Amino acid sequence: MGEVDSAFIQPIDHRPKLKPIEVTDEIPVLDLSSVLNSENSDQQLISEIGSACQTWGFFQVINHGVPAELLRKVEAVAKEFFAGSFEEKRKVQRDALYPMGYHDSEHTKNVRDWKEVFDFLAHDPTEVPASHEPDDEGIRVLTNQWPQYPPEFREICEEYGREVEKLGFKLLELISLSLGLPEDRLKVFFKDQTSFLRFNYYPPCPSPHLALGVGRHKDGGALSVLAQDDVGGLEVRRKSDGEWIPVKPIPDAYIINIGDAVQVWSNDKYESVEHRVVVNSTKARLSIPFFFFPAHYTMVKPLEELVNEQDHAKYREFNWGKFVANRNRSDFKKQDVENIQISHFRI
């Protein structure tokens, strides 16, 4: 990342004083209305976001600016797509060569996760590394696959992607401020972002005690911005005692969690937290995450402003694109490639 302009550097003592958040059985719910249409910072909200990131790594947001009507539309076309025939969905099936599109646990023999998925890029096309090999400097250009039905699927998905990306940038600003940094400190890493969106459809599971919708994991990116329906199923591993805490569905709210990149940038001041999805025996569930990822050429390491003689850098820098390429390859070729985690770069 190179040298940092002195104007960016603020003593750690200048970080906002975090508001204490009592450890409860529910993640915090934060109201963004005070910052959406104002150029002024809301110090109380910034403090609450910092505390939520430290205590939980998760929080929910309301009054976030994404139109509720648009969320209804994207949920409707997603449900219509998944209700279609497998023959139609197979036309946009993803694989190692074309990673955007449809896949399901039954036809891909994935016994861990009970769900169907459709992925699409926030920015089409998107450049990523050609391989996970460190010496391979080649670039791949990824593009989206769009189904023919529903006919309005692509238009609604692209509009929704633009709106939820705006929310992602606003959250990134608030998290930067909560760390005592300028609000645009992290924006430079997202000029050529590699973000994508996913539709997760979880059919009713006849043996919910034998399967998970998604097994326990941490997210690798900067932020995840999740819409979930009223069925619920997301569970967060509480940092204080390791208990799995269900996230209560709130109409039109978004569930936010910080990922591994923010954990490294913050030098462990904020932590990416384990979560999972449990399935339902009687009801189908739909969730729509936006995975906010930096540019493929980003070198991720603790920010210089948050490192000093008392608080040394806890991670070696690594290339974001290669990190993701390795994780993606390990998903498709589990026997060939170790699934790299940020713990591999811990000093």
153-178 residue pLDDT tens: 999 999 999 999 999 999 999 999 99
- Does the residue 108 lie in any domain? yes
- Does the residue 38 lie in any domain? yes
**How many structural domains comprise the chain?**
1
**pLDDT score of 207:** 74
> What band does 249 get if pLDDT is binned at 50, 70 and 90?
very high
Strand order of the sheet with strand 196-202? 29-31, 58-62, 254-258, 223-228, 285-292, 196-202, 116-121, 101-104
Token pair for residue 57?
A: 């790594």
What is the per-residue pLDDT across 22-48, written as a single tens digit (0 to 9) for each?
556 789 999 999 998 776 679 999 999
The residues with which 268 forms a beta bridge, in sequence order, are none
The rounded distance, in Å, linking the Cα atoms of 69 and 159 is 12
- Does the residue 60 lie in any domain? yes
- Does the residue 141 lie in any domain? yes
Place of tokens 């955007």: 100
Domain boundaries, position 130: 6-345
Does 133 have pLDDT greater than 80?
yes
Does 227 have pLDDT greater than 80?
yes
Check if the beta carbon of residue 189 is closer than 8 Å to that of residue 294.
yes
Average pLDDT rounded to a whole number, residues 107-130: 82
- Does the residue 1 lie in any domain? no
- Does the residue 179 lie in any domain? yes
Which CATH number characterizes residue 132's domain?
2.60.120.330
Does 108 have pLDDT greater than 80?
no
**pLDDT score of 142:** 95
- Does the residue 290 lie in any domain? yes
- Does the residue 276 lie in any domain? yes
CB count in 10 Å sphere of residue 37: 7
